Amino acid sequence: MIPAAFEFQKARSIDEAVAAISGTDGKILAGGHSLIPALKLRLSHPTKLVDISGIPHLKGIQEKNGEIIIGSACTHAEISSHQLIREKLPFMARGASLIGDPQVRNYGTIGGSLAHADPAADWPAMVLAAEADIEVQGPQGKRKIKAKDFFTGFFSIALHEHELITAIHIPIPPPGTKTSYQKFIQPASRFAIVGCAVMRFPDGRTTIAFTGVSDHAFRDYPAEQFVSGKELTPSAIHAAAEAAMVDIRIAGDSYASPVYRNHLAKVYLKKALQEVS
Ligand code: FAD
């Protein structure tokens, strides 16, 4: 349980972090709650770690130009307790509060969680339902990636080599928007065996995203069609749950078989839709 030797650099700015990582086999270190265990198990053995936890531009949550912008180095605890998030995106405050334990929430960051892209992580479902843009910066400059294009497979994301996630941009939901995050918790780690995020806008448009169910988080467009723009009656909710998981390769493990996960996903979608109705 001892990591291989590595060089350590604490970056003071985003540019310094990008320069430090470029051209190396190094890794970004944020909260360390996924990376350090991987280093200790020697699943990963970079020769350099670039610590971004002290970069002021990666911290803070603000409202600007119709968006809520969350710095990538914000911890789960900071997001969960932030007044703006509690008011405008209450499902994110709740979802963040359900991550791991206090130590994980006080160190783990939203950027680290999105970059790591654990198939059972909570943030991917929430940023998908919120139709967020992920802002990144690398040797070629800055760009934004839509959440729907970000999660590409098992622990795989659309980040290029040496790119850093810098912020998460979320359109401010119009007044009257309702949100829900429902999670069936793995009792030891508290990762999601199934997590379902839903946003219901005042015009009835509804976004639905799942985590924990498959090899990566995804938007469930077929389920959305059964409730978007329609009254959330028990029969519409039932129809959406029936339509969910079409063409999804459902994961099975020692916690839940594919059949049980499929059942849980539909139950947790119903709970989420009931909460926003
Ligand atoms: P790190 O561990 O520092 O980094 C993780 C990976 O992301 C590394 O590859 C790193 O190079 C890369 N990285 C980090 N930041 C960036 C960035 N800004 N740009 C590009 N790459 C970056 N998660 C949940 O969602 N739900 C849970 O219930 C849950 N329970 C947990 C329980 C335990 C006991 C533990 C140890 C972890 C748990 N986690 C859970 C994971 C936790 O949320 C991690 O903190 C998170 O996945 C990684 O964030 P981090 O800041 O610690 O990243």
Residue 167's pLDDT is: 98
pLDDT confidence bin for 1, thresholds 50/70/90? confident
Terminal C-alpha separation, the chain: 49
CATH code of the domain made up of 7-51: 3.30.43.10
Residue 204's pLDDT is: 97
Per residue in 145-203, pLDDT (tens digit) is 999 999 999 999 999 999 999 999 999 999 999 999 999 999 988 999 999 999 999 99
Task: Measure 115 CA to ligand 1 centroid, in angstroms.
Answer: 8
Task: Measure 31 CA to ligand 1 centroid, in angstroms.
Answer: 7
d(CA 103, CA 170) in angstroms, rounded, equals 26
pLDDT confidence bin for 219, thresholds 50/70/90? very high
User: Among the residues of 41-183, which ranges form H helices?
Assistant: 76-81, 83-88, 90-97, 102-107, 110-116, 123-129, 147-150
Which residue has a Cα nearest atom 47 of ligand 1?
Answer: 113
Per residue in 18-72, pLDDT (tens digit) is 999 999 999 999 999 999 999 999 998 899 999 999 999 999 999 999 999 999 9
Which residue has a Cα nearest atom 8 of ligand 1?
Answer: 35
d(CA 216, CA 152) in angstroms, rounded, equals 7
Q: Where in the chain is the domain with CATH 3.30.43.10?
A: 7-51
Note if the pTM is more than 0.95.
yes
d(CA 53, CA 110) in angstroms, rounded, equals 12
CATH code of the domain made up of 178-276: 3.30.390.50
CATH code of the domain made up of 61-171: 3.30.465.10
The pLDDT of 108-135, averaged and rounded, is 98
User: Among the residues of 98-233, which ranges form H helices?
Assistant: 102-107, 110-116, 123-129, 147-150, 221-225
- For residue 187, give the 3-state DSSP assignment: coil
Task: Measure 112 CA to ligand 1 centroid, in angstroms.
Answer: 4
Under a CB-based contact definition with an 8 Å cutoff, are residues 188 and 115 in contact? no
% the chain with pLDDT above 70: 100
Q: Where in the chain is the domain with CATH 3.30.390.50?
A: 178-276
Residue 116's pLDDT is: 97
The pLDDT of 75-86, averaged and rounded, is 98
What mean pLDDT, rounded, does the chain reach? 96
Task: Measure 84 CA to ligand 1 centroid, in angstroms.
Answer: 23
Atom of ligand 1 nearest to the CA of 75: 51
d(CA 187, CA 214) in angstroms, rounded, equals 19
HSE value, Cβ hemisphere, 13 Å, CA-based, for 239: 13
